């Protein structure tokens, strides 16, 4: 295994592509038509658009295909947790110098925190501290 050079270039996933990923994370595998059923109404897309996005995601190795008769079944290769973690960290790094507390302060300030959020975060903190 001396050769792992052209390997993992994490290739950012665009906004439109992300919508497709969400559909596949919600349920997979799906055909292109099924993905369209899940997202075309919401985003006002046509089936060809979804197909383009799916191919790009395949190229980016974020989605895998398995032939099923004449068509393909699409399945996420990238785990949602990984994606979400990467994106969150990117934001925190870019805007808050990598520290989460100021992010929290901002969300609190904007009243983006519900009571449930606060309770949940408290519970998490308790766990972290022990």
Partner DNA sequence: ACTTACCGATTACGCTTGTAAACATTAAGC
Partner DNA sequence: GCTTAATGTTTACAAGCGTAATCGGTAAGT
Binding site for a copy of itself (CB under 8 A): 18, 81, 84-85, 87-89, 91-92, 94-96, 98-101, 103-110, 112-114, 116-118, 120-122, 124-125, 128-129
Residue 12 three-state SS? coil
- Smaller CB distance to DNA: residue 75 or 99? 75
Least Å from the CB of residue 31 to a copy of itself: 25
70 binds, among a copy of itself, DNA, none (CB under 5 to 8 A by kind): DNA
Burial class, 71, CB count within 10 angstroms (exposed 0-12 / middle 13-18 / buried 19+)? exposed
- Smaller CB distance to a copy of itself: residue 6 or 81? 81
Least Å from the CB of residue 39 to a copy of itself: 14
How do beta strands 63-68 and 71-76 pair?
antiparallel
Least Å from the CB of residue 100 to DNA: 24
Taking phi over 0 as left and psi of -120 to 50 as alpha, with beta for the rest, 68 belongs to beta
- Smaller CB distance to DNA: residue 8 or 127? 8
Distance between CA atoms of 8 and 109, rounded to whole angstroms? 39
* Sign of the C-alpha dihedral computed for residues 21, 24, 30 and 36 taken in this order: negative
Look at residues 75, 25, 19 and name the one whose alpha carbon lies nearest to residue 43.
Answer: 19
Interface contacts to DNA, rule CB under 7 A: 12, 14-17, 31-33, 43-46, 48-49, 51-53, 55-56, 58, 69-72
- Smaller CB distance to DNA: residue 40 or 113? 40
């Amino acid at each position: 295994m001396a050769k792992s050079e052209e390997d993992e270039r994490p290739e950012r996933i665009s906004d439109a592509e992300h919508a497709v990923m969400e559909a596949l994370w919600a349920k997979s595998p799906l055909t292109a038509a099924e993905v369209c059923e899940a997202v075309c109404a919401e985003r006002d897309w046509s089936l060809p658009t979804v197909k383009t996005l799916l191919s790009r995601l395949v190229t980016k190795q974020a989605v895998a295909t398995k032939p099923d008769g004449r068509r393909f079944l699409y399945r996420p290769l990238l785990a949602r947790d990984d994606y979400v973690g990467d994106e969150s960290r990117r934001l925190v790094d870019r805007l808050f110098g990598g520290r989460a507390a100021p992010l929290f302060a901002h969300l609190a300030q904007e009243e983006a925190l519900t009571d449930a959020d606060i309770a949940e975060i408290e519970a998490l903190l308790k766990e972290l501290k022990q």
